[in-house]
Amino acid sequence: MPSWQRIFGLAPPGPVIVVRRHAVVTRIAHWVNAVCLLVLLMSGLQIFNAHPALYLGEASEFTRPVLAMTAWEGPDGLKGYTWIGQHRINTTGLLGVSNVEGVATPRGFPAWATLPAPQWLAMGRLWHFAAAWLFAVNGLLFALWAVWRGHLRRDLLPTRRDLKALPHTVIEHLKLRFPKGDAARRYNSLQKLSYLIVIFGLGPLVLATGLTMSPTMDAAFPQLLWLFGGRQTARTIHFLCAFSFFGFFLVHIVMVVLSGAWNNLKSMITGRYVIEDNHGD
């Protein structure tokens, strides 16, 4: 296990070198993206709460949601349920019913998870679309830059050696042992793959499914509906994308902390990253 000194990067065990880790474009794009994703997720939950149910196909078959959050007034008070298909889970307090200023209230996601906190669809939409534009432009500029300046080829595309080393890297990560010294100069194969999937897979997918929910975009590009199997399926995929981003975020934070929180955070702000100098060994 990494010691707390390691986590805070206070006590490097031996001689160190400072390397330039992240280009300024990467750093700016990273933080703009982080803010956008937070606003998008929370305002997205606000929008979802206006009709907390997901369906498959073009239209909503109201009696057959694939996921739904409902409230039910029982003999012992208001109960919140989450339905996955026909399967019912009591989620009182978190999903379906949660406290709003101390009062149990029917709502999909709780007030602390939504932007704005109270039920306010119009404002949730304003935040969502403003952040969506910034997210799209920022992502597009970063992707173009990464292709143009070779960041994609040099740092993100896994080499044959990376792919061969993948099983080993997975095991090392599970043991919470991270690359050191020269090996820490580059992204490892797991990093490369997850960043590639998120930037060039999940990002475009969340945008495209979001646009498929727009009736005007469906008039301009009916292929979108064909591609995703209908507007309601697109909405469901959009929701799954949002939680994939959230899952990525959680793992990302854990990895950042365990592999040296301060060093990582600093490198994403100043660009400079400290690695152990193992050349003297």
Which residues of this protein are in contact with another protein, per CB under 8 A?
Answer: 8, 10, 39, 42, 47-48, 50-51, 53, 55, 58-60, 62, 115-118, 120-123, 125-127, 129-130, 133, 211, 213-222, 225, 231-232, 235, 262
Query: Minimum CB separation from another protein for residue 193, in Å?
Result: 29
Q: Which is nearer to another protein, 165 or 256 (CB)?
A: 256
Query: Minimum CB separation from another protein for residue 69, in Å?
Result: 13
Query: Minimum CB separation from another protein for residue 56, in Å?
Result: 12
Q: Which is nearer to another protein, 218 or 276 (CB)?
A: 218
Q: Which is nearer to another protein, 169 or 233 (CB)?
A: 233
How far is residue 222 from each of residues 65, 204, 214, 219, 238, measured CA to CA in Å?
24, 17, 11, 6, 17
* Residue 69, C-beta contacts closer than 8 angstroms, at least 6 positions apart: 52, 53, 80, 81, 82, 83, 91, 95, 96, 108, 109
Q: Which is nearer to another protein, 6 or 231 (CB)?
A: 231
Query: Minimum CB separation from another protein for residue 163, in Å?
Result: 36
Q: Which is nearer to another protein, 80 or 210 (CB)?
A: 210
Query: Minimum CB separation from another protein for residue 60, in Å?
Result: 4
Q: Which is nearer to another protein, 155 or 218 (CB)?
A: 218
d(CA 22, CA 29): 11
Q: Which is nearer to another protein, 146 or 241 (CB)?
A: 241
Secondary structure, 3-state, the chain: CCCHHHHHCCCCCCCEEEEECCCHHHHHHHHHHHHHHHHHHHHHHHHHHCCCEECCCCCCCCCCCCEEEEEEEECCEEEEEEEECCEEEECCCCCEEEEECCEEEEECCCHHHCCCCCCCHHHHHHHHHHHHHHHHHHHHHHHHHHHHCCHHHHHHCCCHHHHHHHHHHHHHHHCCCCCCHHHHHCCCHHHHHHHHHHHHHHHHHHHHHHHHCCHHHHHHCCHHHHHHCCHHHHHHHHHHHHHHHHHHHHHHHHHHHHCCHHHHHHHHHCCEEEEECCCCC
Q: Which is nearer to another protein, 64 or 153 (CB)?
A: 64
Query: Minimum CB separation from another protein for residue 263, in Å?
Result: 11
